[in-house]
Amino acid sequence: MLCEMIKARIASDRLWSLQRQGRIGTIAPINGQEATTVGASWALDPAHDWILPQYREPLGLGRYGPEVLHRFTAWAIGHPQGGHIPEPIRVFPPQISLATQILHAVGLAWALKMRKEPAVALTFFGDGSTSEGDFYEAGNLAGVLEVPVIFLISNNQWAISTPTSRQTAAAGFAAKAEAFGIPGVTVDGNDPLAVMEVVAAARGHALAGNGATLIEAVNYRLGAHTTADDPTRYVPPEELAAAKERDPLIVFRRQLENRGIWDRAMQADAEKAGERAIDEAWAWASNLPLQQTALFDHVFAAPTPRQRQQRDAMTEYLGGAQ
Amino acid sequence: MTNDDNLREEETLTMVTAINQTLMAEMRRDERVMVFGEDVALSGGVFRATEGLMAEFGEDRVVDMPLAEAAILGAAAGLAAGGMVPVPEIQFLGFSYQAMHQLAGQIARFRYRTQSRFTMGITIRAPFGGGVRTPELHSDSLEGQLTNIAGLKIVTPATAADAKGLLTEAIRDPDPVVFLEPLRGYRGIKGPVPTGEHRVPFGQARWAAAGDDVTIIAWSYQVEVATRVARRFAEQGISVGVLDLRTLVPLDISSIVAAVERTGRVVIVEEAVPTAGFAAEIMATINEHAFYSLEAPPVRVSGFDTPYPVGMLEDSYVPDVRRIEAAVNQLLRAAP
């Protein structure tokens, strides 16, 4: 798990620099949310269980294979193949329209139940997303249908510049589960083992036919919201400094070192592996071929006459067959 | 007509019965098909379009949903990604505003976003259109807005037979279809429907009446109104054709061009707000593809640039025989 967390942090930092060099578009770093993301994925079975992320988590889903990072890198570049995570990987592409994926997870879990597949759907979303109507509609529907879904709120304390105190007056986000008639749990999102444990319990609950669980994993966004954001305008420096003391990469490493199962050499190896992973992802993604007429592909199974006309006109404009 | 058509058995059905029987047939054919929405199971739907489905297919496949339109369509997206064939109902098309982010932002884009990893073979049924004195937001014709969302197919049957043929096609289509059912047509439209399997491909308009002097282009319930207009002109020896578009996306551009070439004079009828509406889209299409065949500027008969009105004003808003006749007469008077 620590290797995967390190890999996520290194990939996040690398994409940040690539954005600063103007080589990719806007991205949202995962810094501070690695333990929540990796810990949750460790409780799942990649052969059966689905993950519906928002837009940070794909950096930390190495458990589902290196292809997830490859595609996420292509997505950050703006290549259409970035949104295509191939079969049989059970991961959805990043979701930009916040909270919509929570309903997709309920629908997907409903399909699993209909097909009697022994699997769950886990969806990640943030503290801000809990203010969206889709969160409430999804929680309510999951309660009614008793489907095998896990709602994981990665509470990083900030929705861009809006703190959690402006999102809710409730005692905590997990408390909202009560209104849905499902269990709600709060966990230390900086502790991957604790996250893994509660997700594993939620998975067991779902597989036993008992339906959904709402989990709030409390962590802290250590970086900016995205490459387009300047958090120094609103994050209190003393709060950030305190959060850095709880940086999951430092805390978990110390924990493992104290137990004698991690050392400097392992750390160096993990960092090397992390660099290699993002190197490979970048090499793959930045060498993908692309024709401009790909603009017209995959709207429907077959293009409409009008789309064909438009594509032909573009082909002609671009100077015949490319 | 081919021999096959002549031999084909037919029965006379209202549109709502044709829809109901088609849902039955498709659920029998494919056990992945699920019907869900508000009040569709126990009560059989507010228009009884889903009557009897729960009794035959059970509560797992025919499901009364919590009252939440975004949940209905958002869950449909997840079901489709999970290999099911969802046929959700939005109780009235005006309520789709409460699910528009799932429809326009998600369902319409999933294939594109994922480059066909996840496809949305979803048929969203919704009644729309005026003339039955509903409360607010029950009669709005939003098809123009929907056609502006790339990634949705918009289907607008005008006959009971087409309701069957197009709904069958919609449920088997691998992409999302918004299947619009005219409120007034549920029981107001009745006609022969082929028994057994009947499919009508998308993107092929139908001549509801042949004509050489003027063409009326319409869809859904207004085809019925336009056909009445054509009959009245026929009594005066004036030949008015009615082209039923059947599907707005995909659009049968060649039939529209053929109609313009045939008559040179075109009336387009829609029940919606005219500004940036689908009639305007047809006018643009005519300009692009058949401008030199026009003998007079095309005329729109639409609703107005107002919200859909209350019942006592409704008859002035919805195009009727009189307004369409006036438009046809205007075109007949126009000299090239």
Does the pLDDT at position A296 exceed 70?
A: yes
| Contact present, B271 and B219 (Cβ < 8 Å) | no
pLDDT digits (tens, 9 = 90+) for A7-33: 999 999 999 999 999 999 999 999 999
Chain B residues with CB under 8 Å of A105 CB are 78
Exposed/middle/buried for B6, CB within 10 Å: 0-12, 13-18, 19+? exposed
- The whole-number pLDDT of residue A127 equals 97
The SS3 assignment for A28 reads coil
Q: pLDDT-derived band of residue A319, with 50, 70 and 90 as boundaries?
A: confident
Sign of the CA dihedral A87, A68, A206, A212? negative
What CA–CA distance (Å, rounded) separates A52 from A238? 34
Most A CBs within 10 A among B31, B59, B114, hence the mutation to make, goes to B114
Angle between helices B253-263 and A305-317 (to 10 degrees): 100
pTM of the model: 0.96
Those residues of chain B that have pLDDT short of 50 are 1-3
Q: Please name the residue of chain B whose CA is at the shortest distance from the CA of residue A145.
A: B65
Distance of CA A291 to CAs A88, A310, B63, Å?
26, 15, 44
Structural domains in chain B? Answer: 10-194 (3.40.50.970), 206-333 (3.40.50.920)
Distance CA B226, CA B259 (A): 15
A110-133 residue pLDDT tens: 999 999 999 999 999 999 999 999
Q: Do B71 and A111 touch (CB under 8 A)?
A: no
Among A84, A234, A254, A298, the one annotated catalytic? A234
What CA–CA distance (Å, rounded) separates B294 from B263?
A: 8
Beta strands B240-244 and B214-218, pairing class: parallel
Q: Are strands B214-218 and B266-269 parallel, antiparallel or unpaired?
A: parallel
Average pLDDT over residues A238-256: 97
Tell me if B51 sits within 8 A of B45, measured CB to CB: yes
Report the pLDDT value the prediction gives residue B1, as an integer from 0 to 100.
40
| Residue A105 scores a pLDDT above 50 | yes
Closest-CA distance of chain A to residue B69, Å: 9
What is the domain partition of chain A in residue ranges? Answer: 2-290, 292-322
Question: How many whole angstroms separate alpha carbon B295 and alpha carbon B304?
Answer: 26
Which pLDDT value is given to residue B2?
45
Please, what is the average pLDDT of chain A? 96
Question: pLDDT tens digit string along A137-174?
Answer: 999 999 999 999 999 999 999 999 999 999 999 999 99
Residue among B101, B138, B198, B289 flagged as catalytic: B138
The string of pLDDT tens digits covering residues A31-65 is 999 999 999 999 999 999 999 999 999 999 999 99
Backbone φ and ψ for B111, nearest 5 degrees, come out as -60, -45
Do B250 and A304 make contact, defined as CB atoms within 8 angstroms? yes
What is the rounded distance in angstroms from the CA atom of residue B108 to the CA atom of residue A281?
29
Subunit contact B113:A83, Cβ cutoff 8 A: yes
How many degrees, rounded to 5, is the angle at CA B178 between CA B277 and CA B273?
20
Provide the 3-class DSSP secondary structure of residue A313. helix
Closest CA to B23 of B57, B50, B45, B43: B50
CA distance A317 to chain B (A): 18
pLDDT in tens, A207-239: 999 999 999 999 999 999 999 999 999 999 999
C-alpha separations of A180 from A110, A214, A310 in Å: 16, 9, 48
CA distances from A209 to A113, A185, B60, B71, B323 (A): 9, 18, 15, 21, 60
| Predicted complex ipTM | 0.96
On whether the CB atoms of residues B279 and B226 are closer than 8 A, the answer is no
- Structural contact between residues A121 and A45, judged by C-beta atoms closer than 8 angstroms: no
Q: What is the DSSP string of A138-153?
A: HHHHHHHHT--EEEEE
Of B83, B102, B250, the CB nearest to A111: B83
For chains A and B, what is the number of CB pairs under 8 angstroms? 135
For this structure, is A104 an active site residue?
no
- Write down the pLDDT at residue B8: 75
Euclidean distance between CA atoms A141 and A135, whole angstroms: 10
CATH (residue range A2-290) = 3.40.50.970
Measured CA to CA in angstroms, residue B239 lies from B215, B262, B319, B328, B333 at distances of: 9, 11, 21, 11, 14
What single letter denotes the amino acid at residue A321? A
| CA distances, A305 to each of A161, A264, A302, B147, B268 (Å) | 46, 62, 9, 15, 21
CA distance, residue B336 to nearest chain A CA (Å) = 30
Chosen for mutation from A50, A81, A114, A147 (greatest number of chain B CBs closer than 10 Å) is: A114
Instruction: Write a three-state SS string for chain B.
Output: CCHHHHHCCEEEEEHHHHHHHHHHHHHHHCCCEEEEECCCCCCCCCCCCCCCHHHHHCCCCEEECCCCHHHHHHHHHHHHHCCCEEEEECCCHHHHHHHHHHHHHHHCCHHHHCCCCCCCCCEEEEEECCCCCCCCCCCCCCHHHHHCCCCCEEECCCCHHHHHHHHHHHHHCCCCEEEEEECCHHHHCEEEEECCCCCCCCCCCEEEECCCCEEEEECCHHHHHHHHHHHHHHHCCCCEEEEECCEEECCCHHHHHHHHHHHCCEEEECCCCCCCCHHHHHHHHHHHHHHHHCCCCCEEECCCCCCCCCHHHHHHHCCCHHHHHHHHHHHHHCCC
